[in-house]
A and B are shown apart, each in its own frame.
Chain A
Amino acid sequence: MLFNSMFFGCFLILVLVGYWTLTQKHRWILLLVASYLFYISWNPAYLTVLIGTTLFNYSCSRWFLNSPNDSRNFYGMLLIIFVNLGALFSFKYLNLFTFESLSPPSWTGMEFSQESGFPIGLSFYTFQSLSYCFDLYRRKVPVEKHLGKFALFVAFFPQLLAGPIERAGKLLPQLNAKTMAFDLSVFGSGVGLFLWGLFKKVVVADNIANYLAPILNSETELSPENWLIAIYLYPFQLYGDFSGYSDMAVGMGRMMGIQLSPNFNRPYFAVSIHDFWRRWHISLTRWFSDYLFTPLALLWRNYGKIGIFLSILITFALSGVWHEASLNFLCWGLLNGCYLIFEQWIKLKWPENTFLRPLRILWIFHLVAFSFLFLITRDFEQSISVMKELPNVDLNAFGDILSLLKSSNLAIGVFLLLLVEIFLYERKAQLFRQQKIWLKGLVYSFLILCIVLFGNDAGSPFIYLRF
């Protein structure tokens, strides 16, 4: 059941009607049932993994992490990490050498072809459960005694499959709230955010995918001009797809009066790599920062910069592999780690200048877009060959391809996306929130019309559901 399907639309309306009809005391039951039904619609068999890990984490957190005995806490935490990462490893990485993308190069003569299934959303809900356990271990949050609400914290359907990865300290108190009154303005802003997310997905991302998929899946060799177009378009596709999903999730939360964390903050307006990673997939970056980078940096604090740089590299390498067990994702992570290290190392100080700012933004966009090359190529060998080919771009042919794109639906999508992002970047969002309700209604109606007229209705899955 994809967020961008009519079936999900009907499901959401039913859940919302039920949610606001019931009393707060019983809403968690509806949400938990809806979340499990939503998960079953993907693959009923893997519901056992979701329920199994939920029960395990609930039991361990109550028996071990809630204990005044420090060593019991410590060994309990180790057990939780071992089991959670073990489940993730078993499903995602055990067949590491069976995925084609990770197959050794052909010259080794080795060949693996077996593939196994993967419980959708496992990477996300495992990290969310782990964050609860880490925070409980550090006494940052109280233990959750209510099994049903803990299960809902893990499986809350808007963010179950691809985040945002919520912290217990933020989500659990909202699920435990004694009262939650219907607020039309909050509900309306949720609807608006949901529509904006849907627009990003079906008008921006899917129209770009329509153009890029035949090119990237082509069995024939691509010209460097086509690769260059793909390098420039893919960042918009990925952003539209993933931030679209996140916006829809946050929007759905708001419709239920639940505040979820935003996952993106106009990342392509970042003025440094560090700034970019504060704006891109925020919930995952924070997770890695809090639970991996900071402990590592503290552990190696005596080694000075080397310790910090090593922590950055390990964090980014693992972040890459968290996405997918492939050499390309590892390289993507490492390349971003190198960008960040280089930035920290030379301590590049740009003068604060209004005219230089767009140049910095463009520079960072190009670095990021280049790193995404590893995500769109078949394998590492192809990534390298594309890099070698890129300098041979024929600018005349490039012009022909651009003129083809000019009148397509994707041009409309990217244009409107940039327009709104610039509007938001200029901090006009507050201005919009203060506007009269009829003006907001007109903007939302225009958004709906854009989705109806320019949206790709094929119901393509979200890119991050793969991870």
Chain B
Amino acid sequence: MALFLALVKLLDLGVAGVLDHCYEENEYGESGGNLMAYLHQETCDTLFLGASRVQNQVDPKIFGPEAYTLAYQQMHILYLTALVDILEQRKKLPKDALIVQIEVEDFLAGHDDRTLSDIHHLRYHYHENDYVRKYIQRQSKLEFLKYTFSSFRHNQRVLSLLSDYWQRKDQAIGIKGYYPLTGHLNKKDSLKDQPLMVEEKNLAPSPLAKSCLQHLQSICQRNQLNLIVFTAPLYKVNKAYREFSTYFASELKHRQIPYLNYNSDSLNPNYPIKYWYDTKHLNEKGAPQFGIQLKKDLKYYFNE
């Protein structure tokens, strides 16, 4: 039995060693590649952080040579906060500003399950990062047992990691993390496919999201970093969304975090349909327009 366990451990360590190497070297894709591409660069001045609505809409070139975009598709506030924690641990936080795109829905308690499940995508950092470990263990008291297998940190992502590593390990997605979308929304879809909406039934705010925001703010304060939050524009929003946005804005104001909501009446650019890829994302024509607008609005905070 002891020999069998030793054999399992040996195999586990061997496989984990190979996969760890691939993970650290690979700069392509969503299985850690985007983060590694960023970590392999020189430290930037300004970092834009978020999900696909940053990856596809925020071109760092517009903001100068020292800006960078780090984004993972479909990730929410907990994931972004953990990512910042990892950057701090690896001493790779930007020098001046951290500009984070946060969805208004992330602040709804009803979305907590989705938010919490994101943390498993950072399971590679389980052993090295306390914040990641804390939230992974929150899901089950016995979760730590799975991590006695060193290779479990690559669970469910082995194929994508290996294919990214072998095929395109040096080809990071886009330029400095920016990857524009080509194509545009057609009228039929704009009517049929409504953008993300806040459910009107349950508008209770999420304590989890609040604690994430607090953690994000404390990291920035500790590192004397400007933290600015924004919400990128959507093609359409409903009444409940607007109402909840007001709460979200007040929460950020209370914490003295500058906030730019491009779905509010004052900031909404009302881009025409030709600028949209779908109801949530701007295309390669709309993204630069949004970049210019964001740059102009950010200047206000930096000048202050």
Identify the A interface with B (CB < 8 A): 6-7, 9-10, 407-409, 412, 441-442, 444-446, 448-449, 452-457
- CB distance B152 to A452 under 8 Å? yes
B247 at interface by CB-CB < 8 Å: no
Cβ A453 vs Cβ B8 within 8 A: no
Q: Are B155 and A452 in contact (CB under 8 A)?
A: yes
A457 CA / B153 CA spacing, docked (Å): 12
Enumerate B7-33 residues with CB–CB distance to A below 8 Å: 7-8, 11-12, 15
* Structural contact, A448 and B15, CB atoms closer than 8 A: no
Complex A-B, nearest 9 residue pairs according to Cβ-Cβ distance, in ascending order:
A6-B142, A452-B149, A445-B8, A441-B4, A453-B158, A6-B145, A445-B7, A445-B11, A452-B152
B151 at the interface (CB under 8 A from A): yes
Q: How far is the CA of A249 from the CA of B248 in the complex (A)?
A: 50
Q: List 10 A-B contacts (CB under 8 A).
A: A6-B142, A6-B146, A407-B159, A409-B159, A441-B4, A445-B7, A445-B8, A453-B15, A453-B158, A454-B156
In the docked arrangement, what's the CA distance between A114 and B140, Å?
33
| Contact, CB under 8 Å: A408 / B159 | yes
Minimal beta-carbon separation of B84 from chain A (angstroms):
25
Pick the contact of B163: A407, A409, A441 (CB < 8 A): A407
Q: A6-B143, A448-B8, A452-B149 are in contact. Are A407 and B160 (CB under 8 A)?
A: yes
Q: Which B residues are in CB contact (< 8 Å) with A441?
A: 3-4, 7
In the complex, how many angstroms separate the beta carbon of B136 from the nearest chain A beta carbon? 11
Choose among B8, B151, B158, B163 the residue with the greatest number of A CB atoms under 10 Å from its CB.
B8
Nearest CB in chain A to that of B154: its residue: A453
Q: Would you call B8 and A457 a contact (CB within 8 A)?
A: no
- Partner of B7 from A6, A442, A455 at Cβ < 8 Å: A442
A455: chain B residues within 8 A (beta carbon): 155-156
How far, in whole Å, are A6 and B4 apart by their CA atoms in the complex? 20
Return chain B residues, CB-CB under 8 Å to A449. 8, 11-12, 15, 151
A454: chain B residues at CB < 8 Å are: 155-156, 158
What is the minimal beta-carbon distance from A436 to any residue of chain B, in angstroms? 13
Separation in Å of the A355 CB from the closest CB of chain B? 35
In the complex, chain B residues whose CB is within 8 Å of the CB of A409: 156, 159
Residue of A at shortest CB range from B9? Answer: A445
Please classify the interface of chain A as helix (H, G, I), strand (E, B), loop, or mixed, using the class held by over half of its residues. helix
Do the beta carbons of A444 and B4 come within 8 Å of each other?
Answer: yes
Q: A6-B142, A452-B146, A454-B156 are in contact. List 19 more A-B contacts (CB 8 A).
A: A6-B145, A7-B142, A10-B142, A407-B160, A407-B163, A408-B159, A441-B3, A442-B7, A445-B7, A448-B8, A449-B8, A449-B15, A452-B155, A453-B152, A453-B155, A453-B158, A454-B158, A456-B156, A457-B146
A452/B4 in contact, CB under 8 A: no
A76–B275 Cα gap in the complex (Å)? 78
Is the pair B11, A9 in contact by a Cβ cutoff of 8 Å? no
**C-beta contact mask, B32-74 vs A, less than 8 Å → 1, else 0?**
0000000000000000000000000000000000000000000
Q: CA A412 – CA B3 in complex, angstroms?
A: 28
What CA separation (Å) do A237 and B102 show in the bound complex?
A: 37
Distance (whole angstroms) from the CB of A116 to the closest CB of chain B: 25
**Using Cβ atoms and an 8 Å threshold, which residues of chain B touch A445?**
4, 7-8, 11
Contact between chains at B145 and A452 (CB < 8 Å): no
Query: How far, in angstroms, from A10 to B149 measured CA to CA in the complex?
Result: 16
- Highest count of chain B CB atoms <10 Å: which of A10, A453, A454: A453
Within 8 Å by CB of A9, from B3, B7, B145, B158, lies B145
Shortest C-beta distance, A49 to chain B (Å), equals 29
Minimal beta-carbon separation of A446 from chain B (angstroms): 7
Within the complex, the shortest CB–CB distance from B15 to chain A, in Å, comes to 6
Alpha-carbon distance between A55 and B143 when the two chains are bound, in angstroms: 39
Q: Is B11 a contact of A446 with CB atoms below 8 Å?
A: yes
Which residues on the A side are within 8 Å of B142 (C-beta)? 6-7, 10
Report the separation of the CA atoms of residues A444 and B7 in the bound assembly, to the nearest whole angstrom. 10
A370 to B114, CA, bound (A): 34
Q: How far does the alpha carbon of A319 sit from the alpha carbon of B69 in the complex, in Å?
A: 58
Measured CB to CB, the closest approach of chain B to A342, in angstroms, equals 42
Q: Which residues of A contact B8 (CB under 8 A)?
A: 445, 448-449
Shortest B217–chain A CB gap in Å is 32
Give every chain B residue within 8 A of A9 (Cβ-Cβ): 145
Indicate the member of A408, A449, A452, A455 with the most B CB atoms within 10 Å: A452
The distance from the CB of B171 to the nearest CB of chain A, in whole angstroms, is: 17
A408 to B11 alpha-carbon distance, docked (Å): 23
A221 CB, nearest partner CB in chain B, Å: 12
CA–CA, A410 and B149, complex, Å: 21
Question: Shortest distance in angstroms between A264's beta carbon and chain B's nearest beta carbon?
Answer: 26
Residue of B nearest to A448 (CB): B8
Give bound CA distance, A84 to B177, whole Å.
64
A412 touches B159 (CB 8 A): yes
